[in-house]
Each structure stands twice: as structure tokens, then as C-alpha cells.
Amino acid sequence: MDVDMAEDGEKFVWPWTGILVNITIRRVRNGQYVGMSGRELKNELMRRGFDPVRVRPLWNKQGHSGNAVVEFKRGWVGFHDALLFARAYEADSHGRWDWYASNETDAGLYAWIARESDYNSYGIVGEYLTKAGDLKTVSEFMEEEARKHDILVSHLKRVIELKDKHLQEMQEKNDQVSWAVHQFTVLKEKLNAAIDNIRMATEDQLQRVLNSHEKFKLCMESQAKELELSEFELKERQARIDRETNNVVKGTQRKNSIQDCSFQSLDWPRADQNVATLAKDQVMEKAANSSWIGTMKNEDVKTRPVPEVLELKYNEEHEAERKLSALCYLWKEYLNNTALKPFPLTSNEGMHSVCSS
């Protein structure tokens, strides 16, 4: 860094500041003075190749004072820019010593870098510098910069250590995540293989079920056709049996009708005579034991030859039973009638006898 203009122990105003004087001003109607603004002054300096941060015109009660301060960067770069700024105006005989040594000043700007004498001077420039800055020697600035550098380095070391620690933790987490992803990938592949096997087994089972269902369907259709054919054959057979049965029944009925007619024409008088004889024998037997006629039960009659006679007359068993029940009922009514005396009784020495009429 170019510090040739800085003597040992010489103090400068910090932040690095330049001073501009002899700025052209003019008085306006209200009595105030006006001059170049800070932006205009900054643009003028930049056209000459300088790099100021900001230019501040100094104002007092009368307006623009014709003075301004130039702010430079705070580091070594700003100090270098401030020294170049002062050296350029000194080379042009418009430096600090030129301003204070000459009674008659030339038109144009005079400029220099602010030092301790400017800081402690009276006037508007000194007042601003004491409020806005501080005094430092180059060595103090270097020590402060070294201290700041050490602090910065220490801070950067801590930051780097923290970053390294964080990076290590992130690396460990990344390794864990990578391992977990690997395990998950392996498990996923196993699951996919198992799912494929299950799907294939399911498809095979489904195909077997479908084939079995198709076979069962064909078998059922075949059995249904066989059942329909069997049903048709059974219906035909039943119809044939019904026809044959009807023919047999009709033939039997005709045969029975012929037998009934012949039996009634031949055996009915003999059957009636047998019934009358049987009834007469039963009455006479009862009269021998008692002077009163009692009632005979159906069971007593059934044990007699009457059923046999009826069975001879009627071929069908139910018809014979029906006729027998009717005769028993009629016989019971006759026996209950005490006034009825179909056979007269005669007494012979205390004994009763039935006389046939």
C-alpha cells in the first residue's frame, strides 16, 4: 500500500476523509449562498479518476460555505484512494499548503486529506470532523486492522470448524440415509419379487378355477340335457302307463259290472234267504235264554256267516264292508224296537219257544 505521504506518528481522520475548499458559490436574492451539490462534486471527482463514497457540502447560516468533505472507504483501499486524491491536487499546486501559503488563490478546487490539524481546527470543517470521525495513526490503524484480521481469522476458524462439524454430521446422516435407502431398495426388490410370485400363483389358481368352472359348466349342461331327456322319457312312460292303467281299469270295471249283474241275477234270492235264516236262528237262540229280545253288537254279527255272504255278493272288499255296516245298523234298529215281534213266542211250562210263522 502506498503510504509514502504518511509520516511516522502522523494522525489522520478516520474514516478516511478528504477536504474540498474554494468551491464556487453565489449569492441569491434572499441573501443565501448556493453552490455545487454533493452529487455534482462527486461526479466531478469521478471524472478525474477518483473513487469517493460520498461528498457532503458544508452549510452554515448564510447557506453554502464553499467547503465540502469527501468520504472514502474505511479500509486500506480507502486510505490509498485518499492519498491519491491528495497527491493529485498537490501535484496541481492545489494542495493544503498551497491553499494556506498563498494570499491570492487561483480559481478551482483545493483539496487534501484530513489530518490532526484539520480535526482540531476552528470553523465549520473542524466542527464536522470532530463529530463524524476520529484520529488514528497508520500504525494504530495497522494494529487495529491486524486485530480485526485476527478476530476475523479466529471467527472464520470457528465458522470453518462449525462448518466442518456440521459437514461431518451431515456426512454421517447422509451415510445413514444411504444405508437406509439401500436397505429399503433391497426390501423393495424382495417385496416386488414376492408380489410377482403371489400374482403369478393367483393367476395360476384363477386359471385353474376358471378351467374347473368351465368343465363343471359343461358337465352341468350335459347333465341338464340328460335330465331333460330322462324327464321327457319319464313323461312318455308315465303317459303310456296311464293309458294302459286306464285301459285295465276300464276292462276291470266292465268285467265287474258283468259279474255283478250275473251274481245279482243268480245269487241274490239265495243270499237274502241266507240272511233271513241267519237272523231267525239268532232270534230263536236269544229267546231261549231270555223272555226279552236284546241288542246284538256289530262284532257278534261279523262273526257270523253274514260277512261271508256279503263278500260273495260283492267282489270289492270296501263295498261289502259298507253293506255290512248298513245291515247291522238296520238290524240294531229292529232289535231296539220292543214292539216288533217278527217271531211269536209261546210258553210251555215256564219255557219260551219261538214259533215260526
Report how far residue 71's alpha carbon sits from residue 132's, in angstroms, rounded to the nearest whole number. Answer: 10
Is the model's pLDDT at 293 over the cut of 90?
no
Tens digit of pLDDT for each residue in 79-103?
A: 999 999 999 999 988 999 988 887 7
Residue type, 88: A
Q: Are 200 and 299 contained in the same domain?
A: no
Q: Are 126 and 185 contained in the same domain?
A: no
Q: Which of 85, 89, 123, 124 is nearest to 108 (CA)?
A: 89
Min mean pLDDT across 233-237, 258-262, 304-308 is at: 258-262
Q: Residue 258 has what DSSP assignment?
A: H
Is the model's pLDDT at 312 over the cut of 80?
no
Domain boundary among 105, 132, 159: 132
Is the model's pLDDT at 256 over the cut of 90?
no
Q: How many domains does the chain contain in total?
A: 3
Q: Which residues contact 15 (CB under 8 A, 6 or more apart)?
A: 71, 72, 73, 74, 78, 133
- What percent of the chain has a predicted confidence (pLDDT) above 70? 72
Tell me whether residue 208 is in a domain: yes
Q: Are 191 and 97 contained in the same domain?
A: no
Tell me whether residue 3 is in a domain: no
Domain boundary among 132, 166, 186: 132
Tell me whether residue 1 is in a domain: no
Q: Are 112 and 199 contained in the same domain?
A: no
Q: Which residues contact 247 (CB under 8 A, 6 or more apart)?
A: none
What is residue 113's predicted lDDT score, i.e. its pLDDT?
Answer: 94
CA distances for 63 relative to 31, 44, 53, 122, 176, angstroms: 9, 21, 24, 18, 72
Q: Alpha carbon 42 to chain centroid distance?
A: 70
Tens digit of pLDDT for each residue in 134-151?
A: 898 888 888 888 888 889
Report how far residue 146's alpha carbon sits from residue 140's, in angstroms, rounded to the nearest whole number. Answer: 10
What is residue 19's predicted lDDT score, i.e. its pLDDT?
Answer: 94
Residue type, 39: R
What is residue 274's predicted lDDT score, i.e. its pLDDT?
Answer: 62
Q: Are 258 and 178 contained in the same domain?
A: yes
DSSP secondary structure string for all residues of 215-236: HHHHHHHHHHHHHHHHHHHHHH
Query: pTM for the whole thing?
Result: 0.46
| Mean per-residue pLDDT over the chain, rounded | 80
Tens digit of pLDDT for each residue in 24-42?
A: 889 988 889 998 999 999 9
Q: Are 92 and 78 contained in the same domain?
A: yes
What is residue 348's predicted lDDT score, i.e. its pLDDT?
Answer: 53
Q: Give the SS3 label for residue 36.
A: coil
Domain boundary among 112, 132, 152: 132
Q: Are 242 and 329 contained in the same domain?
A: no
Q: Which CATH number goes with the domain that contains 34?
A: 3.30.70.2890
Q: Do the bridges between strand 11-14 and strand 134-137 make them parallel or antiparallel, or are there none, so unpaired?
A: antiparallel
Q: Are 250 and 303 contained in the same domain?
A: no
Tell me whether residue 5 is in a domain: no
Tell me whether residue 282 is in a domain: yes
Domain containing 297: what range? 267-354
Tell me whether residue 274 is in a domain: yes
Q: Which residues contact 10 (CB under 8 A, 6 or more apart)?
A: 115, 116, 137, 138
Tens digit of pLDDT for each residue in 148-207?
A: 888 988 999 999 999 999 999 999 999 999 999 999 899 999 999 999 999 889 888 888
Tens digit of pLDDT for each residue in 107-131?
A: 789 999 999 999 999 899 999 999 9
Q: Are 285 and 324 contained in the same domain?
A: yes
Q: Give the SS3 label for residue 34.
A: strand
Q: Give the SS3 label for residue 348.
A: strand
Q: Are 126 and 214 contained in the same domain?
A: no
Tell me whether residue 75 is in a domain: yes
Q: Alpha carbon 282 to chain centroid distance?
A: 102
Q: Are 212 and 293 contained in the same domain?
A: no
Q: Are 142 and 208 contained in the same domain?
A: yes
